Structures are given as C-alpha cells and as structure tokens.
Amino acid sequence: MLAIVGPTATGKSAVALSVARHLGGLEIVSVDSMQVYRGMDIGTAKPSLADRAEIVHHLVDVADPSEAFTVVRFQHEYDAALAAIDAHAHRALLVGGTGLYLRAVIDRLDPPGEWPAIRAHLDAEPDVTALHAQLTQLDPLAASRMAPTNRRRVARALEVCLGSGRPFSSFGPGLTTYGPNGIVQIGLHVDRGLLTERIRARFNAQMAAGFLDEVEALAGRPERLSRTAAQALGYRELLAHLRGELSLGEARDLAITRTRQFAVRQERWFRRDPRIRWIDVGASDANPVEEVLALLGDSSQCI
C-alpha cells in the first residue's frame, strides 16, 4: 500500500486524487480524525462529493458529531474498509495527517482500554496544568512527550494510568519502534512561511464557503458535540465566538494560529518516522504528483 502523509494544508488530498487517477484501481482511505464526522465538511476540508463519486473514499462520514471516536474504532473501520477494497480487487491509498491513527493501523498498535468513570472525573477538572502535573508524577515519560496545554492527550494519558495501574508510556510496542510493514510512506513538506500563508488562505476560503453557518448548525443540534468533535480546529474557536466569548476576528486569528501550531506538531511527529520519504511541495516549479510517482518507481508494481 501507499500512504501520503504530512501536516495540514500541504495538499495531501489533491495529490492523492491525482495519483489515484494516474494509477487507477485505487481507493482512498482517509486517515483524518475529524473527517470521520458527518456534517463537519467545510472546516475539515473534506473531499467534495464529486471527488468521492470519481474515486471511492473510505472513513469519511462514518460517525455522528455527538459520538466519541477512538483509535480502536478507527482500527475497526479501517479493517472493514480494507476488506471492501480487497473485495473490489483494488488497492488502498492512505492519505491524512492524524499520525496516531496512521501508526495504529499500519503498525497494528494495541491501544489501552477505556475507563469512562475516570474520564468523567478528569473532565470535571478545569485546570489542565494541574492534570499535567499529576501525569508528571505518575508517568514522567508520557508527560514529557506532550504539551502541558493539550488537554485531550493529557487527560487520556491520565485516564490510562489511573485505570490500568500502569504508565501510559508502557503500552504497545512503543511509538518509537519503526519496523518494516510493507507500506510506502511519502511525506509532503511545505516551508513553514508558505504553509502559514496556505493555512490563512484556506481558513478565509472556508469562511467564505459558509464555515460559520456550518458551525452554527452543529451548535443548534439537540445532541451535544462530543469532546473530540468540539475540539476540532476552527470549530472550537467559532463555537467560542457563537457563545460570545470571542469576536469573529479574534476567533479567526486564534484558529489560524492554533492550526499553524498544530501543523508544526504534525511535522515533528512524522519526521520521527525514518520510513517516510519526503518531498518538498509549494515551489513554483514543483510537481508533487510526478515526484510521488518517481519515488514509487514502477508504481504499478510497488503498491
């Protein structure tokens, strides 16, 4: 199989579509933790209905925004998608930027269980710094691997530590192990200055396309958004605007800043994997599709 990965706004979806058109016989598997949610289309840069009609896409629109979507569920959905692709005698083209989801399926990680009662108790603590301090005491290695302000990751690590009685960092073969898996991974890199411009331009285009209306529709649903869905970049800030906590300009600026910071974290995550082969995109003379195909060599035999 082939995987096209990298930070947000590097053009992965467009490159994947072009590669699929060129090679034929491919179906795209989205590796994106937010494109799984129905009704979250504009802000997640979800492939259009026309694109999905042309090339079959999997793991898009498989959950309601009120549902908590986990790594374990992603693994189950992924396995079902691969079975369907195999039944069509096609091949899978993985594309996305959710690094943990990617590692979970291509390296068959065994995630720890869940403890809802403990999670609810942790959710009631408003101070994420206090949660991170507690994690530092229980599992200093895990605490050192995540930002103290990343509430979702900190709370999850604490939930596992408290529920299992084991350090969160002790589970699975370890994210620092990169064994052979038979999958060709190609990473797209864009210079940070240009990437920031792309992020800003994309957010402005999303707003022009009705992003705020989309968020308002989600906020008006009778079911509450799940913790995961409510933390999606752009949605989180626009929800705060709708609650009167931010002006629209403040929400826009904050969303762009957080997306840029997130892109830096994504690149750091993927750069740790020595199996990924990188290409630079964004230069005026760059043709990422040709470079992907060149890296594959005889593409029809490689994937």
Whole-number Å distance between alpha carbons of 138 and 49 = 47
Higher-pLDDT residue of 170, 191: 191
Average pLDDT of the segment spanning 256-264: 97
| Predicted pLDDT at 302 | 41
Average pLDDT of the segment spanning 111-138: 92
| CB contact set of 170 (below 8 Å; sequence gap of 6+) | none
What's the CATH class of domain 2-110+175-302? Answer: alpha beta
Give domain limits for the chain: 2-110+175-302, 116-170
Look over the chain and give the mean of its residue pLDDT values, rounded to a whole number.
92
| Predicted pLDDT at 256 | 98
Q: Please check the confidence at residue 150 and state whether its pLDDT lies above 50.
A: yes
Q: Please check the confidence at residue 143 and state whether its pLDDT lies above 60.
A: yes
| Predicted pLDDT at 298 | 46
Asked if the domains at 2-110+175-302 and 116-170 fall in one CATH topology, the answer is no
| Predicted pLDDT at 177 | 83
Q: Each residue of 90-113: pLDDT tens digit? A: 999 999 999 999 999 999 888 788
> Given its phi and psi angles, is residue 63 left (phi above 0), alpha (psi -120 to 50 degrees) or beta?
beta
The helix/strand/coil state of 28 is: strand
Within its chain, how far is the Cα of 212 from the centroid?
A: 21
Strand order through the sheet with 91-96: 57-58, 26-30, 91-96, 2-5, 184-189, 276-280
- Rounded to two decimals, the pTM is 0.83
| Predicted pLDDT at 232 | 96
Could you write out the three-class secondary structure of 57-100? Answer: EECCCCECCCCCCCHHHHHHHHHHHHHHHHHCCCEEEEEECCHH
Q: Each residue of 32-58: pLDDT tens digit? A: 999 999 999 999 999 999 999 999 999
Share above pLDDT 70 across residues of the chain, in percent, rounded to a whole number: 96
Buried b (16+ CB within 10 A) or exposed e, 193-228: eebbebbbebbeebbeeebbebbeebeeeeeebbeb
Q: Please check the confidence at residue 282 and state whether its pLDDT lies above 90.
A: no
Q: Please check the confidence at residue 87 and state whether its pLDDT lies above 50.
A: yes
* CATH architecture classification, 116-170: Orthogonal Bundle (1.10)
| Predicted pLDDT at 114 | 85
Average pLDDT of the segment spanning 125-135: 94
Neighbour count for residue 274 (Cβ, 10 Å): 7
Confidence of residue 211 (pLDDT cuts 50, 70, 90): very high
Average pLDDT of the segment spanning 141-159: 91
Average pLDDT of the segment spanning 219-229: 93
E strand or H helix at 300, and its extent?
helix 299-302
